[in-house]
């Protein structure tokens, strides 16, 4: 039978424990109620408790952060991470424990000081990372309820990027870079075609969704065959030229080169935007 020793009680529902020289965050209803440091726990491995391993995390940095931030915010953030972990059922980079606690703590401080939080890439984030955005919505609602504070939707986008960055094979910097890239491409298309794409409108969402697919296919080397390519080059030459420029933007920002077949399909989407 495993014995868990409490290192730190963050709240009635969240504690930091050690077991066999490994550290865990334990999240469960009332698991920390009335408990103190060095208390030994047994028989706590039930379905209602969530264990999150901190293996791979800089323990000193984590404990230093816990000593500096509001313990309540740290506890709620760990509950959020437990919710995310359970929902995704996959690997999360342990650094999310530091990154997300630090981010949320700073965001709450800014809100308490009446500093506006603005996110110019909110819709792009929502479309590019729908699963992460959905989890971020739940996270923000948890913060609103537990802290009794108004939190703008802008925060959903920032938390979604942290979630995306913590998933296996991704990082927050690349996620943000892709979000900014899409915004840059949209502005370029609007200026070149002299049009305005209404955010949350059908054309805008369709175009961004296509861009997400293009980037994903290039990353995963899932190449498409475009049997209409020669015809597109001939009949939609100006749109093809615009698409080539978009391809150059993608290559410059992400070091990903779009094949001609993808450029051809993008040209058709550019044509649709002009006709709408």
pLDDT recorded at residue 11? 94
Question: In Å, how far are 11, 30, 55, 254 from 18, measured between CA atoms?
Answer: 17, 18, 11, 41
Alpha carbons 196 and 186: distance in angstroms, whole number: 9
CATH of domain 182-275: 1.10.1790.10
pLDDT recorded at residue 162? 95
pLDDT recorded at residue 12? 93
Range list for CATH 2.30.24.10 in the chain: 1-55
Range list for CATH 1.10.1790.10 in the chain: 58-170, 182-275
Cα dihedral angle (162, 167, 168, 173), rounded to 10 degrees? -20
At 8 the three-state DSSP class reads strand
CATH of domain 1-55: 2.30.24.10
C-alpha dihedral sign at 195, 200, 201, 203: positive
Strands 50-53 and 4-9: unpaired
pLDDT recorded at residue 223? 83
pLDDT recorded at residue 101? 97
pLDDT recorded at residue 199? 86
110-139 burial: b if 16+ Cβ within 10 Å, else e: ebeeeeeeebebbbbbbbbbeebbebbbeb
Alpha carbons 14 and 25: distance in angstroms, whole number: 7
Structure-token pair, residue 11: 């709240």
CB atoms within 10 A of CB 173: 10
pLDDT in tens, the chain (276 residues): 678 899 999 999 999 999 888 999 999 888 889 999 999 987 776 646 788 889 999 989 999 999 999 999 999 999 999 999 999 988 899 999 999 999 999 999 999 999 999 999 999 999 999 999 999 999 999 999 999 999 999 999 999 999 999 986 678 888 999 999 999 999 999 999 999 999 889 999 999 999 999 999 999 888 889 999 999 999 999 999 999 999 999 999 999 999 999 999 999 999 999 887
Alpha carbons 218 and 157: distance in angstroms, whole number: 24
Residues 6+ apart with CB under 8 A from 105: 69, 70, 73, 74, 77
pLDDT recorded at residue 20? 87
| Block residue for tokens 């861009």 | 211
- The structure's pTM equals 0.87
pLDDT recorded at residue 48? 66
Please enumerate, as own/partner, the contacts of 143-147 that have beta carbons within 8 Å and a separation of 24 or more. 143/76, 143/80, 143/104, 143/108, 146/72, 146/76, 147/72, 147/73, 147/76, 147/108
Residues 6+ apart with CB under 8 A from 227: none
Alpha carbons 10 and 22: distance in angstroms, whole number: 18
pLDDT recorded at residue 51? 83
pLDDT recorded at residue 176? 92
- CATH 1.10.1790.10, applies to 58-170: yes
Alpha carbons 257 and 227: distance in angstroms, whole number: 20
pLDDT recorded at residue 25? 94
């Amino acid at each position: 039978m495993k014995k868990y020793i409490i290192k730190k009680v963050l709240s009635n529902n969240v504690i930091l424990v050690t077991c066999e020289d490994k550290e865990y965050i334990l999240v469960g209803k009332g698991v920390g109620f009335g408990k103190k440091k060095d208390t030994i726990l047994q028989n706590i491995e039930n379905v209602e408790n969530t264990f999150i391993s901190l293996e791979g995390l800089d323990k000193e940095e984590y404990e230093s952060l816990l000593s500096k931030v509001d313990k309540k915010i740290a506890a709620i953030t760990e509950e959020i991470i437990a919710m995310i972990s359970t929902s995704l059922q996959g690997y999360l980079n342990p650094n999310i424990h530091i990154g997300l606690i630090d981010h949320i703590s700073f965001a709450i401080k800014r809100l308490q000081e009446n500093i506006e939080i603005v996110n110019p890439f909110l819709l792009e984030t929502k479309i590019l990372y729908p699963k992460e955005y959905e989890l971020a919505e739940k996270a923000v609602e948890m913060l609103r309820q537990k802290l009794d504070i108004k939190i703008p939707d802008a925060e959903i986008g920032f938390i979604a990027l942290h979630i995306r960055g913590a998933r296996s094979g991704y990082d927050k910097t690349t996620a943000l870079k892709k979000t900014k890239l899409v915004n840059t491409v949209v502005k370029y298309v609007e200026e070149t075609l002299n049009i305005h794409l209404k955010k949350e409108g059908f054309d805008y969402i369709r175009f961004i969704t296509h861009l997400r697919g293009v980037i994903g296919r290039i990353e995963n080397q899932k190449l498409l065959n475009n049997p209409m390519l020669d015809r597109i080059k001939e009949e939609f030459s100006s749109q093809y030229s615009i698409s080539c420029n978009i391809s150059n933007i993608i290559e410059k920002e992400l070091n990903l080169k779009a094949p001609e077949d993808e450029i051809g399909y993008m040209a058709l989407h550019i044509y649709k935007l002009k006709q709408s």
